[in-house]
Amino acid sequence: MSTNIADHVRTSLVRKGRWGIGEILFWLIAAATLFLLPERHLILNEIAIIGLFALSLDLILGYAGIVSLGHAAFFGLGAYAAGILAKHGFADPLLGLLIAAIAAAILGFVTSFLVLRGSDLTKLMVTLGVALVLGEIANQASWLTGGADGLQGVSMGPVVGLFEFDIFGTTAYAYSLVVTFLLFIVARRIVVSPYGLSLRSIRDNPLRARAVGIPVNRRLVAVYTLSAAYAGVAGALLAQTTQFVSLDVLAFHRSADVMLVLVIGGVGYLYGGLIGAIIFKVLQDVISAWTPQYWQFWIGLILVIIVLAGRERLTERVRTLWKGVAGRTAKSPEPLPKTSVREI
Amino acid sequence: MAIALETKGLVKRFGGLQATDNVSFQLQQGARHALIGPNGAGKTTFINLLTGVIKPTAGQILLEGQDITGLRPELRVQRGLARTFQINQLFPAMTPLETIGLAVSERTGGGRDWWRVTGSKRDIIDDIVDIAQRFRLTDVLDERTSNLPYGKQRLLEIAVAFACRPRVLLLDEPAAGVPEAERHELLATVAALPRDVSVLLIEHDMDLVFSFADRISVLVNGALFTEGTVEEVSTDPRVRAVYLGESVDE
Ligand SMILES: Nc1ncnc2c1ncn2[C@@H]1O[C@H](COP(=O)(O)OP(=O)(O)O)[C@@H](O)[C@H]1O
Ligand SMILES: [Mg+2]
């Protein structure tokens, strides 16, 4: 019976690491849009980038419970890092991504010590403050960033030396999609690892997490740094694929939008950011075409409805459906017999 | 016998309130030691000091002879000191399996491992199974912790602490709030803890204390009032007076 339970324990734990059919379909469809929706590559590129940005927020919000109203700080820093690098002749996109990731990670690491102390309100204010400060620095340092005029003259070399960026956004979308996919795989791996489990435990109950020997602060610093690097890459993708950077990348609405995107898609399962980005962009497209001046009105209304209707409940329903599609509930292991009172 | 855990002149003040009053206490290796005292006597505060949740105003804490007074809580756990909470401190959105798995992988250093899937190591699985069986949790392993019956949550509370494989285990009223019918089962698991774990038990139920403990300390108003064997303490008229609320001349 003991081996029976051991099998159950193993499958139950390891199952989380396996990809469901629904997930595989999701990415197959994403890849298919490269060929099936050629005239939509520009907006799809934006979706991939916002999706990656929201995914980075999910890492801290959904898995570690860290709230942020200033995630654009990392996005913007990544964008400027990649843009400035390209402007000064380092045109290789992958090098730009790497530098952007490192720059954002450093900022994330340093600011994590400010952010991680204190209540949720403190976190909101500190993250907001960091983004505002960075925005003003970018505004003032116009010799470097172009200030309010934006960073002009960014010209990118071909991706991996082969694929030139084109005006239809095809290379851009393929590039952003592949980068997002690769970073997604890493994130997905992390959240089912013991490290990812420890993050969830900290989110649920930091007092108890410490009481099982988890160095809570160190774990949070690590995930905040990682999340910042992801956001930096998303920003760099935007700079590289649009070959332009403006102060907008650091603006407050960027931080608010990414939060909105994640709330629409649902926190804590990694796909929320991606699905939220699709819904957000498509809605924006549709509503703007229909009634451009009321876009903010409608998205605001949708946000209120989602939050009032209970994110949890909605997410739970989607999850149940999702599991059904993935066929994972059907395969759940047999219930175990009740433990008999064990003589010890 | 060696001393597992010791305090020297431990003091904790909350503003004007002296919650821990110059407590010098010793827990012997392998002991079954009970700490009793009326509500508000400072028992939980004492546990919080020992585990580093709060910092003492004065005094010293030694774990197996080494000063841990300034050590961070998680490092105390890694040195073999674990506790349970009087009020459940669990992970509501996680399953018992994940909860125990978490504690086991942290202990084996897996918590820094961000690439391997949890549960892909054989010895971790065996450990989880062993703990789940010992605490009778095998039938609820995949339930959400917040949906567990209270009695099971109390068992999980002890199971997580035990999963840290402590050499010293501090139990803060493990049976608090557990219905009479389930009490016995819970206490049986406590009584069946391996003898090489030194246990300090806080409990109100005197039957239980007398059957479990070989030594008893009485805490009153933050200070150690008396200490002795079960015999000595249970027959001490002053203890009956302060603790059991009986008058001395009864
Ligand atoms: N964090 C705190 N701040 C202020 N007072 C506290 C705090 N924790 C406990 N106390 C006070 O210390 C005294 C002892 O409490 P406690 O240790 O919980 O007692 P017991 O566990 O023996 O019932 C009580 O008067 C309580 O109000
Ligand atoms: Mg108490």
Instruction: Report how far residue A189's alpha carbon sits from residue A55's, in angstroms, rounded to the nearest whole number.
Output: 14
Evaluate whether residue B82 is within a structural domain: yes
For the ranges A5-19, A32-46, A242-256, B89-103, which has the lowest average pLDDT?
A5-19
Evaluate whether residue B167 is within a structural domain: yes
In this structure, the number of other CB atoms found within 10 A of the CB of residue A150 comes to 16
Decide: helix, strand or coil at residue B162: helix
pLDDT tens digits for B145-200?
A: 999 999 999 999 999 999 999 999 999 999 988 988 888 888 889 989 999 999 99
| Tokens at B32, concatenated | 């079954």
| CA A314-A320-A323 angle, 5° bins | 135
Decide: helix, strand or coil at residue B224: strand
Interface test with A, best of B118, B139, B144 (most A CBs within 10 A): B118
| Tokens at B104, concatenated | 């086991």
Number of domains in chain B: 1
Interface test with B, best of A1, A7, A8, A9 (most B CBs within 10 A): A9
Buried b (16+ CB within 10 A) or exposed e, A27-65: eeebeebeeeeeeebbbbbbbbbbbbbbbbbbbbbbbbb
Kindly indicate the confidence band of residue B1, based on its pLDDT and cuts at 50, 70 and 90.
Answer: low
Ligand 1 centroid to residue B42 C-alpha, Å: 6
Decide: helix, strand or coil at residue A95: helix
Pairing state of beta strands B198-202 and B168-172? Answer: parallel
For chain A, which residues make up each domain, given as ranges?
Answer: 20-343
Q: Which ligand is nearest to the CA of B21?
A: 1
Verify whether ligand 1 is closer than 6 Å to residue B37 (CB atom).
yes
Average pLDDT over residues A222-234: 98
CB-nearest partner of A192 from B74, B117, B164: B117
Which H or E run includes B62? strand B58-63
Residues A270 and A55: beta-carbon distance below 8 Å: yes
Instruction: Report how far residue A266's alpha carbon sits from residue A307's, in angstroms, rounded to the nearest whole number.
Output: 11
- Helix, strand, coil distribution of chain B in percent, nearest 5: 35, 25, 40
Instruction: Report how far residue B152's alpha carbon sits from residue B167's, in angstroms, rounded to the nearest whole number.
Output: 24
pLDDT tens digits for B85-117?
A: 999 999 999 999 999 999 999 998 766 777 777
| Tokens at B35, concatenated | 């700490």
Verify whether ligand 1 is closer than 6 Å to residue B43 (CB atom).
yes
Q: Is B51 on the interface with A (CB under 8 A)?
A: yes
Instruction: Report how far residue B203's alpha carbon sits from residue B201's, in angstroms, rounded to the nearest whole number.
Output: 6
| CATH number for the domain that contains residue B162 | 3.40.50.300
Instruction: Report how far residue A329's alpha carbon sits from residue A138's, in angstroms, rounded to the nearest whole number.
Output: 50
CB-nearest partner of B77 from A195, A212, A342: A212
Residues B201 and B171: beta-carbon distance below 8 Å: yes
Residue with tokens 């530098």: A99
What confidence score (pLDDT) does residue A344 get?
A: 28
Chain A residues with beta carbon closer than 8 angstroms to that of B164: 212-213
What confidence score (pLDDT) does residue B249 get?
A: 41
Note the CATH architecture for domain A20-343: Orthogonal Bundle (1.10)
Nearest CA in chain A to B116: A193
Q: Is B78 on the interface with A (CB under 8 A)?
A: yes
Residues A338 and B139: beta-carbon distance below 8 Å: yes
What confidence score (pLDDT) does residue B248 get?
A: 42
Ligand 2 centroid to residue B20 C-alpha, Å: 13
Mean of all residue pLDDT scores within chain A: 89
A278 versus A335: the higher-pLDDT residue is A278
Min CA distance, B3 vs chain A (Å)?
22
Decide: helix, strand or coil at residue A213: coil
Evaluate whether residue B250 is within a structural domain: no
pLDDT tens digits for A280-290?
A: 999 888 888 88
What confidence score (pLDDT) does residue A334 get?
A: 38
pLDDT tens digits for B13-61?
A: 999 999 999 999 999 999 999 999 999 999 999 999 999 999 999 999 9
Ligand 2 centroid to residue B10 C-alpha, Å: 17
Domain with B108, as residue range(s), is 3-244
Min CA distance, B249 vs chain A (Å)?
43
Decide: helix, strand or coil at residue B34: strand
What confidence score (pLDDT) does residue A295 get?
A: 81
Evaluate whether residue B56 is within a structural domain: yes
Q: What are phi and psi of B201, to 5 degrees?
A: -115, 125
Q: Residues with Cβ within 5 Å of ion ligand 2?
A: B 43-44, 86
Evaluate whether residue B249 is within a structural domain: no
Verify whether ligand 1 is closer than 6 Å to residue B40 (CB atom).
yes
What confidence score (pLDDT) does residue A331 get?
A: 37
Average pLDDT over residues A130-156: 93
Q: Is B53 on the interface with A (CB under 8 A)?
A: yes
ipTM of the complex: 0.92
